[in-house]
Amino acid sequence: MAIEGSKKNSGALMPARIRLGMVGGGEGAFIGAVHRIAARLDDHYQFVAGALSATPEKARRSGLAIGLAPERIYSDYEAMAKAEAARPDGIEAVAIVTPNHLHAPVAEAFLKAGIHVICDKPVTTTSKDAKKLLALATKKKRVFAVTHNYTGYPMVRHARQMVREGALGEIRVVQVEYPQDWLTEKLEATGQKQAEWRADPKRNGIGGAIADIGTHAHNLAAYITGLQISQLCAELSSFVKGRKLDDNAQVMLRYANGARGLLWASQVAPGNENNLRIRVYGSKGGIEWKQEHPNQLHWSPFGQPTQVISRATGAANASAARVTRIPSGHPEGYLEGFATIYSEIAQAIRAARKGGAKAAKPDPAAHFPTLRDGIDGVAFIEAVVASSAKGGRWVRFKP
Looking at the fold, whether 296 and 176 belong to one and the same domain comes out as: yes
Q: Is residue 236 part of a domain?
A: yes
Q: Is residue 325 part of a domain?
A: no
Does the pLDDT of residue 7 top 90, yes or no? no
Task: State pTM to two decimals.
Answer: 0.95
Looking at the fold, whether 96 and 222 belong to one and the same domain comes out as: no
Does the pLDDT of residue 357 top 90, yes or no? no
Cβ-in-10-Å burial (0-12, 13-18, 19+) of 151 comes to: buried
Looking at the fold, whether 42 and 55 belong to one and the same domain comes out as: yes
Number of domains composing the chain: 2
CATH number at residue 210: 3.30.360.10
Averaged pLDDT, 211-219: 98
pLDDT at 5: 37
Q: Judge contact between 275 and 216, C-beta under 8 A.
A: no
Looking at the fold, whether 163 and 75 belong to one and the same domain comes out as: no
Looking at the fold, whether 251 and 343 belong to one and the same domain comes out as: no
Looking at the fold, whether 178 and 127 belong to one and the same domain comes out as: no
Distance, CA of 89 to chain centre: 28
Looking at the fold, whether 113 and 195 belong to one and the same domain comes out as: no
pLDDT at 360: 72
CA distance 335 to 7: 20
Q: Which residues pair with 251 in a beta bridge?
A: 234, 263
Looking at the fold, whether 178 and 277 belong to one and the same domain comes out as: yes
Averaged pLDDT, 44-69: 97
pLDDT at 354: 78
> What domain range includes position 94?
8-150+335-368
More confident call, 10 vs 309:
309
Q: Judge contact between 154 and 316, C-beta under 8 A.
A: yes
Q: Mean pLDDT score of the chain, rounded to an integer?
A: 95
pLDDT at 1: 40
Does the pLDDT of residue 356 top 70, yes or no? no
Q: Which of 277, 317, 313 is nearest to 294 (CA)?
A: 277
Q: Is residue 358 part of a domain?
A: yes
Does the pLDDT of residue 4 top 60, yes or no? no
Q: Is residue 302 part of a domain?
A: yes
CA distance 270 to 247: 13
Looking at the fold, whether 129 and 188 belong to one and the same domain comes out as: no
Averaged pLDDT, 33-56: 97
Do strands 45-51 and 93-96 pair parallel, antiparallel, or not at all (unpaired)?
unpaired
Q: Is residue 328 part of a domain?
A: no
List, for residues 80-116, the tens digit of each pLDDT value.
999 999 999 999 999 999 999 999 999 999 999 999 9
Does the pLDDT of residue 11 top 70, yes or no? no
Looking at the fold, whether 165 and 206 belong to one and the same domain comes out as: yes
Q: Is residue 159 part of a domain?
A: yes
pLDDT at 10: 42
Looking at the fold, whether 44 and 117 belong to one and the same domain comes out as: yes
Q: Is residue 306 part of a domain?
A: yes
Looking at the fold, whether 254 and 345 belong to one and the same domain comes out as: no
